[in-house]
Structure 1
Amino acid sequence: MPPVPEFDSLIPLLGRGAAPEEIRHIRNLPAREAVTSPWPDAIHPDVVQAYALAGVHHPYRHQAEAMTAAGQGHTVVATGTASGKSMAYQAPVLSTIHAGRLIAQASPGVLQHPEEATALYLSPTKALAADQLTALQALSRHLSARVHSYDGDTPQQQRRWIRDHADLVLCNPDMLHTGVLPNHPQWSRFLRRLRYVIVDEAHVYRGVFGSHVANVLRRLRRVAALYGTDPVFIGASATSAAPQDSFSRLIGVNPDAVTAVTRDDSPHGAVTVVLWEPEQSGPEGENGAPTRRSVLAESADMLTDLALKQVRTLAFVGSRRGAEAVAQMAHRQLDEVEPGLAHRVAAYRAGFLPEERRELEEQLRDGRLLGLASTSALELGIDVAGLDAVLVAGWPGTRASFFQQVGRAGRAGQDALAAFIARDDPLDTYLVNHPEAIFDVSVEATIFDPGNPYVLAPHLCAAAAEQPLKPSDLDLFDPAAPGILESLVNAGQLRRRPAGWFWTRSEDPAAMISIRAEGGGPLNIIETDTGQLLGSIGTGQAHQQTHPGAIYVHQGRTYVVEDLDLAHHVVSVTRAHPDYYTQARDVTSVKVIKEERHQTWGPITVHSGQVQVTSQVVSYQRKAIPGNEIIGEEPLELPPTDLFTKSVWFTAPGPVLAAAGVQEADFPGALHAAEHAMIGLLPLLATCDRWDVGGLSTALHADTQLPTIFVHDGHPGGAGFAERGYDMAASWFAATKAAIESCSCESGCPSCVQSPKCGNRNNPLDKAGAIALLAAFLDHAPSPATSDTPTDGVTGR
């Protein structure tokens, strides 16, 4: 084990003594003192008084700077967790609304006073919006501001009143996209007064989701202009690279039109962050490789120990199934040791019914819950003071998310503990052994592409349905818009007239776009015996997670999937008590559609372009709990799916690999192992998770006629991740080689070259061959001074 600093007094809370062997690194994030500032003159005295009644007498310095900037134009506040970003936008918005209402009340009989104002708040999650609603309604009791939530949970009978009377509406991008913009005439009163749009947790809008939201916001700006308004956008974001650039790209304005506030003057308790690598569990896994103890079992043990010590803990888990499993294991262990505590641990995830989510949030706030295993749904700015510990079960995808999650602890000013528990995964293994890659480098840039044709085309249709598109409107959208409009006209989706482009069909195009997942929207999960709606799942996840025979977990209860009806968007499940879980297997092929860029490294070529990925889930395995042994495999007959996306691919002549010591018979195993590890390490360079990307390797690809490794985006049209890999290829290879070499296994394991989603059952794999192959690529890579500045070829340019 690498040397670590002297162990902190909080370490024994994790239940393994004062100096556990699993610890690879300890980093103490120091406490921070507050720096306050006077209230800006532009904030109305009544708003200042409302905050004083809530116990806030002075803003932090960065909050005051943001309030001033918001009065002058578009602003983004990019500071840490619990830094008070909410007040930075709440105060100027409430001040403008309240002042306008007072002026209007002094001029009775005027239908619309020019000083009257409304504002729209956008949140990526309902939980965060509900938390904001509680805070804003408490403030608005002392002000002339009517604050209401408008989302899928809002009763129909309330919606008209909100449209006609609310001053500050809390919404989400989904409801804005399908409920507000297509029905903008009903929102005319609100839109004519629209002064502010708040985009909370703006760093969440990345990848394809970010591309969709960027186009929804452009449509909002266009519709607002129809009613004579040009609202100021205020963004709240976690600390991120170039927040001014990313927020300006999100809302569709020039970077110089956005002011970024990045200095953090808020207080925070000291946090001891532990990097934890579970020990090998003993039994061997697939292909005879040693396995590390499950991150879920390790997290459940810690959650149990912390609950027994009355330590309020939030455990972040990367998947719905994982969050349920951690809560279920902790609940079972507490029931054995101290039954009175078992009910004080629960799971929280997307897919729960609204009333379930609200109740769990309230129980976490008031302390009835000691432990909560959650997906990233609780990562965002929900105000839960008093948390003493946070567990991060597996790398959350980005440094920004990691520090958001860690920052949940210590918000009340107390010293707190956070533990990052590594999965059996190349990236997690690399990070716990290279802490500098977490703590000593800047956070990632937010990657998304508003010009993705698979995203932009349907939004242009939606915009045309809202109001016929004029040539002057195209400046709002990506430069690719004219060409896409032409293709939409040729396809009969739009009709070109001298006045512009018109939507030609009777359907609402917005209702045909799912901004969070490709294909036809979510599927309802129904218990067949009772007819009860348990929750929902995205179409893109259905083949893998809710195929016939799959085990589905909801609030600690297990079900077996009886039927997957894609046509009617229904998954039928039956209550069951299995002693196993299921894992789907698929087969994949990749076809090159168009090479757009390439770099030549001597005999090595790095390519970027468009590909077609064809995948089919062909079977599933039943694996024992808790040993992970395979106890059976069943075939499936599901239809293949085609994905047109972006990819980076690498080609090398056979003699180059042979010269590096990789024999021709070993090409498939070496390429396959390198591909797995590269997919695992790409999140180190791009704001993605390994599940956002896929790959394929072959000793002779039909399109390249060479040994080839593909790494592609998992979203239609691409999400920018593979292109980031292209731009950072040399660094990517170096980190991948280091990760494989640092793993102590002999022939490859889940910590280095095995993949949890491999359709070929991790066979063949050649760890030594992968190291030799990556070394050969690096031998021909550009020098460090130019390694990440690609020299594009002429192909496709």
Structure 2
Amino acid sequence: MVRTGELLDALLAGGRRADRLTHVRHLPAREGVRAPWPTWADADVVRGYRQLGVEQPWAHQAVAADAAWSGRHTVLSTSTGSGKSLAFWLPALTAARGSAAARTLDPGRIETVSRRATTLYLCPTKALAAGQLAALDDLLRAAALRDVRVATADGDTSLDERRWVQEHADLVLTNPDFLHFALLPQHRRWARLLGALRYVVVDECHAFRGVFGAHVGLVLRRLQRVARSYGASPVFLLASATTADPAVSAARLVGVPADDVTAVTEDASPAGRKTFVLWQPPLLPGGDAPWSDLLPDEDPWSTPVAAPGGAVRPDAPGPPAPDDPWTVADPTTDGPTDFDAPTSAWSDGAASELGDLAAASPGTSHVEARAHTADAVVDPTASGPSGTGERVVTEPHDGPRRTATAEVADLLTDLVVVGARTLAFTRSRRAAESVASATRDHLRDVDPDLVRAVSAYRGGYLPEERRALERSIRTGDLRALATTNALELGIDISGLDAVLVAGWPGTRVSLWQQAGRAGRAGADGLVALVAREDPLDTFLVHHPEAIFDTPVEATVFDTGNPYVLAPHLCAAAAEIPLRADELDVFGPQAPVLLAELVERGALRRRSSGWYWTHAEPATRLTDLRGSGGDPVRVVESVTGRLLGTVDAASADATVHDGAVYVHQGATFVVDELHLDDGVALVTRRDVDYGTWARWVTSTEIVSVDEEISWGPVTWGFGAVDVTTQVLGYQRKRIPDLQVLGATDLDLPPRTLRTAAAWWTAPADVLEAAGVGEEDAPGALHAAEHASIGLLPLLATCDRWDLGGLSTALHADTGHATVFVHDAYPGGAGFAEHGFRVAPTWLRATRDAIAACPCPGGCPACVQSPKCGNANNPLDKAAAVRLLDVVLAHAPQSD
């Protein structure tokens, strides 16, 4: 292990990069508190843990294991690396061994023939299940146990392997998707497992949030119902990162009263001293650098900063107002409208950083860094919260900064050179490949033997590749991985010295999950959050209190959402006909929805219950993750070798004809994309350029289902088509990003039919608010972001379940319009709820913006962590004035 002081020295490069450091926070070390092994614990299992070096459990492990053994639903919410898995494997393995012993000692009892206690382990990713399987295998070998059978079952499991699991496995590791699509619909084949189900482990349960969380909650209710039909009543054991209200969230996920859940939140594991630094890359030297060509003609930072509640000068420069609702979404431009989308084809591309394949700027390397930054200045016109006497400090911005990916590549290089084992988290697959490739290039100049010690890790790799990389970072064969958030969850990777985070990951929960990888097993660790070229990131690295002194987010989802609940009622009826006395588990909305489903012909009502009578599986009515189709396979044309996969939603923008596809540092050029077959054929070629897609996005009103007038303001709710189409791509030379050429593409548009709420601001409303033509885009954009951020407080959703668009002129309404839409096909009910409580929603939006003490907008009010336009343009003061005028026409109550 490398000492934290040495690691920080490596980042600072002997002081040459000191002015990039904006804040250092030292998190104190914590002593561990041991507890004796529970008296009920199986002696052989305990011996196995001791063989692995666990002489006694930590106190929180013992408390949680005791609660589980006593039959209490239990949630363990402690830090990353605190050993949560022992708390659920100890009772699960003890139960399995006890059943095996009973069967051996009393073979004449009929129930012992088939009732051998089983455990079902659920987690969000296959990688996490594979990691747990490896850890369990190590434990069983150490304990010399051969009578407990453990296996994984997921979409990659062959039919023969699946049959063995059905007939023999005691502990089955899987995911909610497999439960939904395979296990529950075919529950008769899993009768042995379900009939003896003692425990259900839900790992990393904080990852089940938003619509995905609602789906998983309903899958768990279906699981309990089916298990009860076989005579089982499993105890749920949940493991979570530190999160707000763990007992409430766990109870909502499982479908039981919060009083029935024991929450263990006191972390008794040891923690080393953690040094957490906030870091801003330097300004790029000169105005003639190739990066300057990538900036918009109008610099959004040139808008003067006004005091809260003040007005921006009417002559403030800004982007022109749009003349139609379409805008070209190109990473090199800032369009006048904003498409604020969750995980999808267009958001994946829009969130890509400028030049993240360019690993370094001219004159800057890991050996000597040129620092160009300005001291923070006090804006005398700005003030803090009323009556505090505080002044708001703003950060001037007088040029483009180096990208976070380029900066992280340099930092990662220096950490590898000093022997640190490091994870570098990035925001995209492309960025992960970029950081790994650039780091290897730097290392060739320093120590060629270290080149093989760095790799990339991301979704889309083949399972065997991911497992090999996980093993290599665990054993130390690899010193560094540049990764997406695929390694954020609890894969057991201990002994890491440092974590680099390239850009704000979106939530504090994610940030602390990633940071928790550093200094595991009680060792000291270093974490660095490197800001992207984005106002949100800039704000955070200069306002550490927004990171360190603010509680983590609560896990939010709503299993009663009718758009989510209805298909699960159909699936439940297909598994076992629904009876009236079983509906309580699905919530008060279930009877109403069942009546509607019968009326629509989805279900049939009989005196004995509700039945699914269609030939096709009911599980096809919903997709838990909203992935939008099967992944596209990337295949090497010459050899037929499968390189990896790409999500269907992002295939048009990433593996179109002519696209450069990077895999572990090797470049391939796409020969053909066959959308119908779901295959992209590629050829290995060394090229000195990357490709950037260009696309257009629009929101079209399909139907106005309801409409309300607030005087001149019109509120609407209905179906919309959010359409994106990749038009072509540019080839840019690496690393200077000079445009080498542009190519048009003929790809079909991709349309998301969903539900949206919208409001209009006619010209007289804008005029009354003092919002001129040049201010309108920023005012509307800021109002859109804030309204998306506030709706989860009213609609029990997650901001990542929503998207939006704002435009100064929309073709369907004829006015300036703000849209907020559900991010799921057909809608999920969130926008509809917003429409129902529109006055309350918009007042809360206005108040949140106005009450925020920042001068020009921050993550607490108008900045969004998922903005496709890099949070530009935003005009906080104009948004407040506009919302005041709109609300003046609102009804007094809703």
The answer to whether the aligner puts 1:773 opposite 2:878 as a matched pair is yes
The alpha carbon displacement at 1:467 in A equals 2.1
Aligned to 1:748: none
Aligned 1:594-673 pairs, distance under 5 A? 611-622=719-730, 624=732, 625-628=734-737, 630-645=739-754, 647=756, 649=758, 652=761, 654-655=763-764, 657-663=766-772, 665-671=773-779, 673=781
Q: Could you say if the C-alpha distance between residues 336 and 271 of structure 1 is closer, same or farther in structure 2, counting changes exceeding 3 Å?
A: same
Say which of 28, 31, 56 aligns to 1:30.
28
Aligned 1:136-215 pairs, distance under 5 A? 136-141=136-141, 142=143, 143=145, 144-215=147-218
Say which of 430, 439, 456 aligns to 1:347.
456
CA contact (8 A) 2:769 2:882 kept: no
The alpha carbon displacement at 1:276 in A equals 1.1
Shifted more, 687-696 versus 410-419: the winner is 687-696
Per-residue CA deviation, residues 40-95 of structure 1 (Å, 9 max, x unaligned), is: 33333443333223221222221122112212321111111111111111111112
The alpha carbon displacement at 1:454 in A equals 4.4
CA contact (8 A) 2:775 2:878 kept: no
Q: Could you say if the C-alpha distance between residues 737 and 557 of structure 1 is closer, same or farther in structure 2, counting changes exceeding 3 Å?
A: farther
Say which of 616, 631, 642 aligns to 1:533.
642
Say which of 258, 261, 264 aligns to 1:258.
261
The alpha carbon displacement at 1:220 in A equals 1.0
CA contact (8 A) 2:284 2:401 kept: yes
Question: Quick one: distance in 1 between partners of 2:210 and 2:864?
Answer: 25
CA contact (8 A) 2:33 2:58 kept: yes
Aligned to 2:556: 447
Question: Quick one: distance in 2 between partners of 1:668 and 1:438?
Answer: 31
The answer to whether the aligner puts 1:106 opposite 2:105 as a matched pair is yes
- Which amino acid in structure 1 is aligned with residue 774 of structure 2? D
- Which amino acid in structure 2 is aligned with residue 341 of structure 1? L
Shifted more, 247-256 versus 448-457: the winner is 448-457
Aligned to 1:227: 230
Q: Could you say if the C-alpha distance between residues 433 and 607 of structure 1 is closer, same or farther in structure 2, counting changes exceeding 3 Å?
A: farther
SS in 1 for 2:200: strand
Shifted more, 170-179 versus 84-93: the winner is 170-179
Aligned to 1:786: none
- Which amino acid in structure 2 is aligned with residue 12 of structure 1? D
Q: Could you say if the C-alpha distance between residues 571 and 671 of structure 1 is closer, same or farther in structure 2, counting changes exceeding 3 Å?
A: farther
Question: Quick one: distance in 2 between partners of 1:709 and 1:212?
Answer: 29
The answer to whether the aligner puts 1:270 opposite 2:267 as a matched pair is no
Question: Quick one: distance in 2 between partners of 1:456 and 1:630?
Answer: 49
Aligned 1:477-626 pairs, distance under 5 A? 477-510=586-619, 513-576=622-685, 577-591=687-701, 611-622=719-730, 624=732, 625-626=734-735
Question: Quick one: distance in 1 between partners of 2:262 and 2:865?
Answer: 45
- Which amino acid in structure 1 is aligned with residue 10 of structure 2? L
Shifted more, 192-201 versus 770-779: the winner is 770-779
Identity among equivalent positions (%) equals 47
Say which of 533, 547, 551 aligns to 1:438.
547
SS in 2 for 1:272: strand
The alpha carbon displacement at 1:355 in A equals 1.1
Q: Could you say if the C-alpha distance between residues 9 and 280 of structure 1 is closer, same or farther in structure 2, counting changes exceeding 3 Å?
A: same
- Which amino acid in structure 1 is aligned with residue 729 of structure 2? Q
The alpha carbon displacement at 1:530 in A equals 2.3
Aligned to 1:17: 14
Shifted more, 498-507 versus 102-111: the winner is 498-507
The answer to whether the aligner puts 1:356 opposite 2:353 as a matched pair is no
Q: Could you say if the C-alpha distance between residues 523 and 63 of structure 1 is closer, same or farther in structure 2, counting changes exceeding 3 Å?
A: same
Shifted more, 117-126 versus 609-618: the winner is 609-618
Question: Quick one: distance in 1 between partners of 2:71 and 2:101?
Answer: 22
SS in 2 for 1:21: helix
Per-residue CA deviation, residues 139-194 of structure 1 (Å, 9 max, x unaligned), is: 33434422222223334333222211111111111222222112211111111100
- Which amino acid in structure 2 is aligned with residue 586 of structure 1? V
Aligned 1:364-443 pairs, distance under 5 A? 364-443=473-552
Per-residue CA deviation, residues 670-729 of structure 1 (Å, 9 max, x unaligned), is: 346536865997899999999765321123557777533224343232496997987962
Say which of 570, 576, 579 aligns to 1:461.
570
Per-residue CA deviation, residues 550-581 of structure 1 (Å, 9 max, x unaligned), is: 33222222333344434333333333425122
Aligned to 1:733: 849
Normalized against structure 1, the TM-score is what? Answer: 0.87
Question: Quick one: distance in 2 between partners of 1:187 and 1:133?
Answer: 20
CA contact (8 A) 1:590 1:612 kept: yes
CA contact (8 A) 2:73 2:261 kept: yes
CA contact (8 A) 1:207 1:719 kept: no
CA contact (8 A) 1:592 1:703 kept: no
Shifted more, 689-698 versus 257-266: the winner is 689-698
Q: Could you say if the C-alpha distance between residues 331 and 596 of structure 1 is closer, same or farther in structure 2, counting changes exceeding 3 Å?
A: farther
- Which amino acid in structure 2 is aligned with residue 738 of structure 1? C
Q: Could you say if the C-alpha distance between residues 302 and 682 of structure 1 is closer, same or farther in structure 2, counting changes exceeding 3 Å?
A: farther
The alpha carbon displacement at 1:110 in A equals 3.0
The alpha carbon displacement at 1:423 in A equals 1.3
The alpha carbon displacement at 1:342 in A equals 0.8
SS in 2 for 1:384: coil
Query: Which structure 1 residue ranges, 5 or more long, are not aligned?
Result: 1-6, 744-750, 783-789
The alpha carbon displacement at 1:401 in A equals 1.1
Aligned to 1:96: 95
- Which amino acid in structure 2 is aligned with residue 91 of structure 1? L
The alpha carbon displacement at 1:736 in A equals 8.5
Aligned to 2:54: 56
Q: Which has the bigger relative contact order, CA under 8 A and spacing at least 6? A: 2
CA contact (8 A) 1:589 1:696 kept: yes
Question: Quick one: distance in 2 between partners of 1:491 and 1:483?
Answer: 13
CA contact (8 A) 2:123 2:174 kept: yes
The alpha carbon displacement at 1:642 in A equals 3.8
CA contact (8 A) 2:217 2:254 kept: yes
The answer to whether the aligner puts 1:715 opposite 2:824 as a matched pair is yes
Aligned to 1:79: 78
Question: Quick one: distance in 1 between partners of 2:831 and 2:419?
Answer: 42
Shifted more, 241-250 versus 141-150: the winner is 141-150
CA contact (8 A) 2:498 2:527 kept: yes
Question: Quick one: distance in 1 between partners of 2:40 and 2:755?
Answer: 48
The alpha carbon displacement at 1:649 in A equals 4.9
CA contact (8 A) 2:801 2:823 kept: yes
SS in 2 for 1:441: coil
Question: Quick one: distance in 1 between partners of 2:702 and 2:842?
Answer: 16
Q: Could you say if the C-alpha distance between residues 123 and 726 of structure 1 is closer, same or farther in structure 2, counting changes exceeding 3 Å?
A: farther
Shifted more, 455-464 versus 69-78: the winner is 455-464
- Which amino acid in structure 2 is aligned with residue 82 of structure 1? G
Question: Quick one: distance in 1 between partners of 2:706 and 2:203?
Answer: 35
Say which of 319, 325, 341 aligns to 2:428.
319
Per-residue CA deviation, residues 221-280 of structure 1 (Å, 9 max, x unaligned), is: 121111111111111001111111211121222222212111111111111111111123
CA contact (8 A) 1:427 1:684 kept: no
Question: Quick one: distance in 2 between partners of 1:673 and 1:152?
Answer: 42
Per-residue CA deviation, residues 356-387 of structure 1 (Å, 9 max, x unaligned), is: 11110111011110110111111111222211
Query: Which structure 2 residue ranges, 5 or more long, are not aligned?
Result: 286-290, 300-398, 835-840
Per-residue CA deviation, residues 654-683 of structure 1 (Å, 9 max, x unaligned), is: 4554355422x2254334653686599789
The alpha carbon displacement at 1:492 in A equals 4.1
Question: Quick one: distance in 2 between partners of 1:792 and 1:57?
Answer: 65
Question: Quick one: distance in 2 between partners of 1:296 and 1:404?
Answer: 20
Kindly report the root-mean-square deviation, in angstroms, between the aligned alpha carbons of the 2 structures.
3.7
Shifted more, 73-82 versus 549-558: the winner is 549-558
Question: Quick one: distance in 2 between partners of 1:623 and 1:606?
Answer: 44
Aligned to 1:287: 296
- Which amino acid in structure 1 is aligned with residue 268 of structure 2? D
CA contact (8 A) 1:605 1:652 kept: yes
Question: Quick one: distance in 1 between partners of 2:232 and 2:873?
Answer: 61
Aligned to 2:134: 134
